[in-house]
Amino acid sequence: LKKLTVNLEASSYPVFIGTNFLNKISARIKEYFPQTKILIICDKNVYRFHHELINNAFRRFKDYVFYYYLKPGEKSKSFKELNKIYHILVEHEFDRSSLIVALGGGVAGDISSFVASTYMRGIYLVHIPTTLLSMVDSSIGGKTAINFESRKNLVGSFYQPEFVFIDTNFLLTLPPREISSGMGEIIKYAFISNHNFNAFLNKYFADLREIDTETIEKIIAKAVSVKAAVVSRDEREDGLRKILNFGHTFAHAYESASGMKIKHGEAVVLGIISALVLSNKLKILSDKRFNEFLALPLKMKLKNKMKDVPEKNVLEFMRNDKKVRKSKINFVLISRIGKILLDVEAAKGAVLYSIRKTKELTTH
Ligand SMILES: NC(=O)c1ccc[n+]([C@@H]2O[C@H](COP(=O)([O-])OP(=O)(O)OC[C@H]3O[C@@H](n4cnc5c(N)ncnc54)[C@H](O)[C@@H]3O)[C@@H](O)[C@H]2O)c1
**Helix or strand (DSSP H, E) at 3:** strand 2-6
Ligand 1 centroid, distance to 39 Cα (angstroms): 19
Query: Is 112 near ligand 1, meaning CB less than 6 Å away?
Result: no
321 — phi, psi (to 5°)? -60, 140
Q: Whose CA is nearest to atom 18 of ligand 1?
A: 105
Determine the pLDDT at residue 325. 56
Q: Measure 175 CA to ligand 1 centroid, in angstroms.
A: 11
Active site residue ranges = 121, 143, 185, 227, 237, 241, 245, 248, 252, 264
Q: Alpha-carbon distance 351 to 282, whole Å?
A: 10
Tell me if 174 CB under 6 Å of ligand 1.
yes
Q: Distance between CA atoms of 196 and 185, rounded to whole angstroms?
A: 17
pLDDT in single tens digits along all 364 residues of the chain: 999 999 998 789 999 999 999 999 999 999 999 999 999 999 999 999 999 999 999 999 999 999 999 999 999 999 999 999 999 999 999 999 999 999 999 999 999 999 999 999 999 999 999 999 999 999 999 999 999 998 889 999 999 999 999 999 999 999 988 988 899 999 999 999 988 898 888 888 766 667 788 889 999 999 999 999 999 987 777 778 889 999 999 999 999 899 888 988 899 999 999 999 999 999 999 999 999 999 999 988 888 889 889 999 999 988 877 565 556 788 999 999 999 999 999 999 999 999 999 999 998 7
> Do residues 8 and 232 lie in contact, with contact meaning Cβ atoms separated by under 8 Å?
yes
Q: How far apart are CA 280 and CA 207, in angstroms?
A: 29
Supply the pLDDT for residue 323: 60
Helix residue ranges, H only, the chain:
22-32, 44-58, 79-91, 106-118, 132-133, 176-192, 195-204, 213-233, 248-257, 264-281, 287-298, 311-320, 348-362
- Report the alpha-carbon distance of residue 111 to residue 85 in Å, rounded: 10
Q: Say what the pLDDT of residue 108 is.
A: 98
Residue 84 amino acid letter? K
31 three-class SS: helix
DSSP string, 324-357: --TT--EEEEEEETTEEEEEEE--HHHHHHHHHH
- List C-alpha distances in Å: 127 to 32, 176, 339: 14, 23, 31
pTM: 0.93
- Test site for ligand 1: of 48, 138, 220, most ligand atoms within 8 A of the Cβ: 138
132 C-alpha to center of ligand 1: Å?
8
Query: 196: which strand partners?
Result: none
Q: Atom of ligand 1 at shortest distance to CA of 156?
A: 1
